[in-house]
Structure 1
Amino acid sequence: MNKPGACIVQRDLSVLLEKDHPGFEEARERLSSFAELVKTPAFYHTYRMTPLTLWNAAAGGIDAEAILKDLAELARYPLPGGVAQDIRKWMGRYGQLKLYPVPGVADLLELENCGPDGALLEQLLTQLNWADGRITLQGERHCRLSAALRGMLKRELGQLGYPVLDEAGYHQGRPLSFKLRSVLPDSGHPFQLRSYQMEAEAAFAGERGEGGSGVVVLPCGAGKTVIGLAAMERLQCETLILTSNVTSVRQWVAELTSKTTLPAQEIGEYTGEKKQVKPVTVSTYQILTHRSRKNEEFRHMSLFNERDWGLIIYDEVHLLPAPIFRATADIQATRRLGLTATLVREDGCERDVFTLIGPKRYEAPWRRLEESGHIAEVDCREIRVSMPEDQQKRYVQAEGREKFRVAAENPGKQPVIEQLLDRHRDRQVLIIGQYLDQLQSVAKEMGVPLITGSTPQSERGRIYQAFREGKLPVLVVSKVANFAVDLPDASVAIQISGSFGSRQEEAQRLGRILRPKTDGSRAFFYTLVSENTREQDFAQRRQLFLLEQGYEYAVQQEREVLNA
């Protein structure tokens, strides 16, 4: 007799997936295209369908009937009443409202209601409460507004639960002629896009090249930067690139120099150290949102209007600060490409990414790229460490967030770190943590360099380069290394503390070791957690995104490591 389905679908659009079911892997992959993982108890993984997960599925060409078919095939019991109606309702809203230019009238847009409810626009305008006449009804199913309000309208309607299908088009920007190289000048090695990179760029561009907004989701080490370069080559226009830190700016500049025919004088760095505005300019979110006094305006935000950009690339788009969202709302006629390893945002602003940058255009499962050799195979392990008696007393007496920190800074982790370093003494190892006192103590004990936010940029560059060249086998780093740091030979990461339950951070830290190894060996990702503490609870939440990608964490006790 066939085993019953792997899933139990619940009325609130959550789905329980039995972990030990023989169909677990297939069900996990199918669910991940329209639901998100929210909990992983011992026997069932809990997924949840939300308006945003369903809209992203719709943007990717999946319709409600395909999802209902998947659920019916995976479900152990018939779908509860109302589930099908809710899925059809939310997915039906994608494409119900369409925005397009008014023919022959410059700077004016029309919003059309293509859905069954003829009174919808009037109801939505009442909820928007734009009382100053900025948007006017043109009959029951149409209204008009200034093109300057394009982003604001999309953002506010998205918050009301009605995504706008934006067909208002994009301007070209100032032309910029260049090509991707076929041979890298420094090494003489041939260069071409991988198949999934070509698929991602094509998905962003659209079937007829009419696309121009959206997000590509790929793991660290899979070459998201190259997809950005390919989009630039297709569009042949001046481009603004925004990223997370100065180290990443320098890496983008290096990639532009080595992989494109752009001359160096056409590539600019706009950071705290340099203020170059060139046909291709690379900057950071930090400099754009910098203001020296509390009420001072963001004076560097003018970079969005310094040149006639035809494309803006948002690297690590999940880190986008709120002021950048506001600026992006004003430039919806400019093509926008978001690059990220995870759409997870701990601040809950995923819907703003969807409405202002664009929907998810392409995603490749991490494990599939691992199986094809494009990223390294990774062994993930959580090591549970007991606390010394005096530290245990401090933990019991601590309150709130201090409790988590006491557990995270458990000195009992030090012998485990030493044992792991001995086990991997022939590897390049990153020790990653959250708390500076802890990191300084570990670096001093190990006699190895430490990089934090206060490390001068020139010193960071020198240390990173020594690590890349193998002169430094071990490096201790704070959260400044979570994002966009290219350390291709790092193959072991030891995470000794983290930002509470940040799924985003867990994915980024694993990403530090995902580049394929020249000898084909696997990478190792260790998370050290104080046993029976809040840190252990938060660790389970941190792991959610990677579990959704198909990774499993083997749990070990410290004695198993120390006695190995």
Structure 2
Amino acid sequence: MPDLNNPLIVQSDKTMFLEVDNDRFEDCRAVISRFAELEKSPEYMQTYRISALSLWNAASSRMTADDIVGALEDFSKYPVPKNVLHEIREQISRYGKVKLVREEDGELYITSEEKAFLNEIAHHRSVQEYIKDVQVGRILVNKDYRGHIKQALIRIGYPVEDLAGYDEGAAYGFNLRGTTLSGKNFVMRDYQRKAVEVFHAGGSRQGGSGVIVLPCGAGKTIVGIGVMQLVGAHTLILVTNTLSIRQWKSEILDKTDISEDDIGEYSGEKKELKPITIATYNIITHRKKKGGAFTHYNIFGEGNWGLVVYDEVHLLPAPVFRMTSELQAKRRLGLTATLVREDGLEEDVFSLIGPKKYDVPWKELEKRSWIANAKCIEIRVEMDEELRLKYSVSDDREKYRLASENPAKLDAIEKIMGVHGSNNILIIGQYLQQLDVISQHFNLPMITGNTPLMERERLYKAFREGREPCLIVSRVANFSIDLPDARVAIQVSGTFGSRQEEAQRLGRVLRPKGEDNMAFFYTVVTRDTTEERFAHNRQLFLAEQGYEYNLHTYDEYCSMHPETPNPGPRKPIVVDESEKAEKAKKTEKASKKSSQRKEKEEESLAGR
């Protein structure tokens, strides 16, 4: 019942205000984040919005209209507006009302018990090109456009439930190990097993497509392997980069009895098709020329796949969506830490990969020590007068770069390293010139996109084993990098307001730490600049998961740690401009040569 002591205010435009300084804040946030999207997260009042897609995802994960209405009425200060209650019941009821089924004649039909729904669908211009015939109680559609019709339907407000079934693919069975190759006992955690079972749904048509949302470090790869075992068929796994291929392969060999000979790599370096094939998004979307055909599109047709796994599905390139629209007869599993996409294509994930099937709040896993207790800290540094003057006359993009590369951040980095003993620390950034300066200043190794794979693996191994206590990494470390011993991450610059990047970077320190199980995630930003505004936006997703950012100026942070000496006067690194230009020229030349070599190699392999 409404109570002025409650933390939530629900408005008629479907926005909600949640008081942070309220005894029921945590309980309320945990519930409403399942059916609403966080839009703003200032210190004292968070803003959420209920959308049709957020409600459909809630419905797909078995949340009912009564569950949602009950939660709003339980936590609201005032009576919930009637139009909001109506919208919730209307949108929740729409999920599953329209179904896509395959009849005994092999044809594909849209069906619904709501004749008005069918009538509206049949007469909608965006759907008509996929319709073959309108019959009594059903609509015959072109089965070659199974994915296209689902995309069209969701855009006009009808999230179709796809019950048309799947091709089983070539059979391939295997077992999970009870003991890993390293001699450790292995058993799936309860939430991992539940995620697998919810997705598979006993092999029925109600399962087999959808997205599992788990934090970085919570074992999404294990969930993928568990689904592979239940499906028991040839599997295509799509990942972000070559290093991810190696990590998936390592996990599969460590946790299953699958032979190494049955695992293929399909990348710029190798073109293997095996019962279990792991490919990169880059190779799948490769074209010899802009606008030309996709060179390796044949991978989808040459393998008799029973399952396609999309790792880091929030990064799925747009061309892969187009390919996936033609793969609707295959079981499809998406794995991600966040459904947020910076390109706004969440509806395409919903319709083509599938709706959200299962998720676990990050804080719940933290309480159970499955992931580390993470403390998020934002340190704001000043900008000196000369740089501030340059900043004031620059355009927006240049302003962000100047604020991001602020040399004053070196002092903050040094202080943080002093507080944490310069051990198990990642320094992550966006701008290579900034990272190069930090690397020189602290004499630390740096990994960028130009770092050879073998050198990356050597440095990662040294970091895991403690022989390299601190690494500087560019955006290559945002995704799928296995750094289990990272205890501290220092973010010095990022991709504007990217929420998904913020979530992935926090994930670099979330693996369990033992003992106190504490991890620290620092963001260093320049005060009173556009960087501060973008940093706030980046933190939205993590705020929704229950993380709070402790905000401190650099001076405040120093006063909190008087036992650690503050950095002395900084000696500026003088970069010879001619030397800098020559270095940039050599890097560009080497990069171009490498790209040409890869293109020739891919053309040669494609022609075999």
Q: TM-score, normalised by structure 2?
A: 0.90
Partner of 1:62: 63
CA contact under 8 A between 1:122 and 1:137: conserved in structure 2? Answer: no
C-alpha offsets along residues 92-132 of structure 1, whole Å, 9 cap, x if unaligned? 211111111111x13x11111223xx233233233244556
SS in 2 for 1:490: coil
Between 262-271 and 300-309, the greater mean CA deviation after superposition? 300-309
Matched, 1:425 2:421: yes
Between 79-88 and 507-516, the greater mean CA deviation after superposition? 79-88
Task: Please show how residues 322-341 of structure 1 align to structure 2 within 5 Å.
Answer: 322-341=318-337
Residues in 2 aligned to 1:320 and 1:133: alpha-carbon distance in whole angstroms: 25
| Structure 2 unaligned residues grouped into runs of 5+ | 562-608
Residues in 1 aligned to 2:129 and 2:285: alpha-carbon distance in whole angstroms: 30
| Amino acid of the structure 1 residue aligned with 2:134 | L
Please, which of 278, 294, 301 is the counterpart of residue 297 of structure 2?
A: 301
Matched, 1:124 2:125: no
Matched, 1:197 2:192: yes
C-alpha offsets along residues 19-44 of structure 1, whole Å, 9 cap, x if unaligned? 11211111111111111111013321
Matched, 1:249 2:245: yes
Following superposition, the deviation at residue 467 of structure 1 comes to 1.2
| Amino acid of the structure 1 residue aligned with 2:493 | S
C-alpha offsets along residues 521-551 of structure 1, whole Å, 9 cap, x if unaligned? 3010000010011111111111111111111
Partner of 1:9: 10
| Amino acid of the structure 2 residue aligned with 1:200 | A
C-alpha offsets along residues 294-323 of structure 1, whole Å, 9 cap, x if unaligned? 122111122111210000000000000111
Residues in 2 aligned to 1:437 and 1:275: alpha-carbon distance in whole angstroms: 35
Partner of 2:51: 50
**Number of matched residues?**
558
Residues in 2 aligned to 1:194 and 1:330: alpha-carbon distance in whole angstroms: 34
Residues in 2 aligned to 1:179 and 1:100: alpha-carbon distance in whole angstroms: 33
C-alpha offsets along residues 50-96 of structure 1, whole Å, 9 cap, x if unaligned? 11110011111112122111111111111223111111221121111
Matched, 1:135 2:132: yes
| Structure 1 unaligned residues grouped into runs of 5+ | none
Partner of 1:188: 183
Distance 1:2 1:297, change over 3 A: closer
| Amino acid of the structure 2 residue aligned with 1:192 | V
CA contact under 8 A between 2:147 and 2:352: conserved in structure 1? Answer: yes
Distance 1:184 1:411, change over 3 A: same
Partner of 1:109: 108
Please, which of 387, 403, 419 is the counterpart of residue 391 of structure 1?
A: 387
Matched, 1:18 2:35: no
Between 327-336 and 458-467, the greater mean CA deviation after superposition? 458-467
Matched, 1:350 2:346: yes
Following superposition, the deviation at residue 15 of structure 1 comes to 0.7
SS in 2 for 1:114: coil
Residues in 1 aligned to 2:494 and 2:376: alpha-carbon distance in whole angstroms: 16
Q: Taking every aligned residue pair, what percent have the same amino acid on both sides? A: 48
| Amino acid of the structure 1 residue aligned with 2:192 | Q
Task: Please show how residues 141-290 of structure 1 align to structure 2 within 5 Å.
Answer: 141-185=137-181, 187-207=182-202, 209-210=204-205, 211-290=207-286
CA contact under 8 A between 1:433 and 1:479: conserved in structure 2? Answer: yes
Following superposition, the deviation at residue 133 of structure 1 comes to 6.9
Following superposition, the deviation at residue 208 of structure 1 comes to 5.8
Distance 1:441 1:72, change over 3 A: same
Partner of 1:459: 455
Matched, 1:370 2:366: yes
Residues in 1 aligned to 2:218 and 2:5: alpha-carbon distance in whole angstroms: 37
Q: TM-score, normalised by structure 1?
A: 0.96
Between 201-210 and 187-196, the greater mean CA deviation after superposition? 201-210
Following superposition, the deviation at residue 422 of structure 1 comes to 1.7
Residues in 1 aligned to 2:551 and 2:129: alpha-carbon distance in whole angstroms: 60
C-alpha offsets along residues 194-241 of structure 1, whole Å, 9 cap, x if unaligned? 111001101101156441001100000011000000011111100000
C-alpha offsets along residues 159-215 of structure 1, whole Å, 9 cap, x if unaligned? 111110111111111011211111112x21111101110011011011564410011
CA contact under 8 A between 1:97 and 1:111: conserved in structure 2? Answer: yes
CA contact under 8 A between 2:361 and 2:545: conserved in structure 1? Answer: yes
Please, which of 430, 433, 436 is the counterpart of residue 432 of structure 2?
A: 436
CA contact under 8 A between 1:98 and 1:114: conserved in structure 2? Answer: no
CA contact under 8 A between 1:285 and 1:320: conserved in structure 2? Answer: yes
CA contact under 8 A between 1:174 and 1:238: conserved in structure 2? Answer: yes
Partner of 2:571: none
Residues in 2 aligned to 1:130 and 1:163: alpha-carbon distance in whole angstroms: 13
C-alpha offsets along residues 138-164 of structure 1, whole Å, 9 cap, x if unaligned? 12x311123221111001111111110
SS in 1 for 2:413: helix
Residues in 2 aligned to 1:207 and 1:248: alpha-carbon distance in whole angstroms: 29
Partner of 2:564: none
Distance 1:206 1:157, change over 3 A: same
Matched, 1:380 2:376: yes
Matched, 1:548 2:547: no
Residues in 1 aligned to 2:311 and 2:127: alpha-carbon distance in whole angstroms: 33
Residues in 2 aligned to 1:301 and 1:388: alpha-carbon distance in whole angstroms: 53
SS in 2 for 1:268: strand
SS in 1 for 2:298: helix
CA contact under 8 A between 1:128 and 1:156: conserved in structure 2? Answer: no
Residues in 1 aligned to 2:474 and 2:297: alpha-carbon distance in whole angstroms: 28
Task: Please show how residues 499-514 of structure 1 align to structure 2 within 5 Å.
Answer: 499-514=495-510
Partner of 1:539: 535
| Amino acid of the structure 2 residue aligned with 1:444 | Q
C-alpha offsets along residues 437-485 of structure 1, whole Å, 9 cap, x if unaligned? 1111111111111111121222211211111111111101111110000
Partner of 1:85: 86
Residues in 2 aligned to 1:287 and 1:302: alpha-carbon distance in whole angstroms: 11
Distance 1:386 1:168, change over 3 A: same
Following superposition, the deviation at residue 373 of structure 1 comes to 0.7
Residues in 1 aligned to 2:117 and 2:422: alpha-carbon distance in whole angstroms: 65
Distance 1:406 1:182, change over 3 A: same
Superposition RMSD in Å = 1.5
Residues in 1 aligned to 2:459 and 2:185: alpha-carbon distance in whole angstroms: 29
SS in 1 for 2:264: strand
Residues in 2 aligned to 1:232 and 1:476: alpha-carbon distance in whole angstroms: 35
| Amino acid of the structure 2 residue aligned with 1:194 | R
